[in-house]
Amino acid sequence: MTASPAVPPAADDTGRWLHDLVADLLPPMRSITGEGVRTTLRTVARALGPGVPFTVHEVPSGTPVLDWTVPREWNVTSARLIGPDGRTVVDAADNPLHLLGYSTPLRARMSLDELRPHLFSMPDRPDWVPYRTSYYNENWGFCLTDRQLAALPDGEYEVEIDTTLDDGGSLTYGEIVLPGETDDEFLITTHTCHPAMANDNCSGIAVAALLARTLAATERRRHTFRLLFIPGTIGSITWLAGHRADVGRVRHGLVLTGLGDRSDPTYKRSRRGAATVDRAAAVALTETGRPHRVVDFSPYGYDERQFCSPGFDLPVGRLGRGQHGEYPQYHTSADDLDFVTPESLADSYALLRRIVEICERNRTWRNTAPYGEPQLGRRGLYRAIGATMNRQAVEMALLWVLNLADGTRSLLDIAERADLPFDTVAEAADALAGVDLLADESGGPAGVGVGVGVGAGGGASGG
């Protein structure tokens, strides 16, 4: 690390700060439970600093959660495969990916033929180590490069897997709740269960941590923000099972993953398809003027499929870059620090901030003088916009807002109908509200929002 992750970056150092934090997050032997997750959350806590309320929850193994059960806690002391010559073939201490996730403990000697069903490689990528797990089907194994596998000689091998599966353990997740001026929630989640992969999942953890710092330092938040650092699938199911009474407050949601590779940004819509967060993401991506993708919801992917399951149907989309399975480095040792770039991390963070800002600013207004067009000149509105770059666009925005602000349309609705930039419409609404021509029908005070700069709490932006 070039600097402690607890130190917030200056605006132009955001990408480097995020990349350094990704480096700090890589080493632990992470899985869906265990000390690796706890170590990861301690790193997150340091990066958050003292100003962010971070709570670590432990849910006992065996707890029923929806149609699932919290699994036994898995921990690793060591894991090695030793060849016939006494030399170590692979060692999980060198790379956590070498051990099949959730491997059961074993000490045994066996022939190469007996060993082969427990060895995993990638023939099409002979120099990469694959990521494999066996969470819910007891097994053991090692992952190695295909070149290593092909070079293994016949003879007797020694398997040393020192792991534990504890019925008395727990599932661990982290949570940040930042109260806003309304109880309406913005839910942001990232998974914490993948070991030794920079893009999937360290990039999401790092970007979520920096967003939490920024939000915590923001003086006024309209929404209550809840950020979850959870193991994939079972973590979101566990949280949903314990918060069924709370999910009705979720107005917007984002799952963060794969934010550091060089691919174009990609947004996956919620199951609803046209939720506010879906539309805000489309606006934010279009504003960049750069290539991007917006894809429809499908019940395959990350935790968005749990939040968007039909019984919950929450407005939760997913923000990333390259999608799972679309880049060859996915779930391999090639998803390393060289695969993610400071530039991509900073760009993803800026997009996330912009989506949040649009959702914060989007409101539903009601015209308080709807009979005829109110006289704007005597209220000083035309003089106020006289020095703007595009006076005509602002004047049109004033008229469109007055005409469509009937208590049923949001600012996103009006911007789309008027074919005007969202910020132009939002600024027009703020000006009209400032002279009592609009009443807020959406709840919470006007003018609440998060800036679009890329600094963290205590830096140039965020307050």
Residue in the block written with tokens 């970007």: 207
Report d(CA 414, CA 416) in Å as an integer: 5
CB atoms within 10 A of CB 109: 11
Q: Which of 295, 37, 296 is nearest to 173 (CA)?
A: 37
Report d(CA 230, CA 236) in Å as an integer: 7
Q: Are strands 293-295 and 266-268 parallel, antiparallel or unpaired?
A: parallel
What are the helix (H) ranges across 176-270? 204-216, 234-242
CB atoms within 10 A of CB 98: 23
Report d(CA 215, CA 11) in Å as an integer: 15
Size of the chain, expressed as the number of residues it contains:
463
Residue 67 labelled as part of a binding site: no
Pair of tokens at residue 267: 């947004």
Q: Which of 18, 10, 4 is nearest to 459 (CA)?
A: 10
CA atoms within 13 A on the CB side of 461: 21
Sign of CA dihedral 58, 61, 64, 65: positive
Q: Which residues lie below 8 Å from residue 377, measured CB to CB, with a gap of 6+?
A: none
CA atoms within 13 A on the CB side of 111: 3
Q: What's the per-residue H, E or C state across 179-194?
A: CCCCCCEEEEEEECCC
What are the helix (H) ranges across 92-201? 112-115, 146-151
Residue 194 labelled as part of a binding site: yes
Q: Is 389 helix (H, G, I), strand (E, B) or coil?
A: coil
Which residues are annotated binding-site positions for Zn(2+)? Answer: 194, 200, 331
Which residues are annotated binding-site positions? Answer: 194, 200, 331
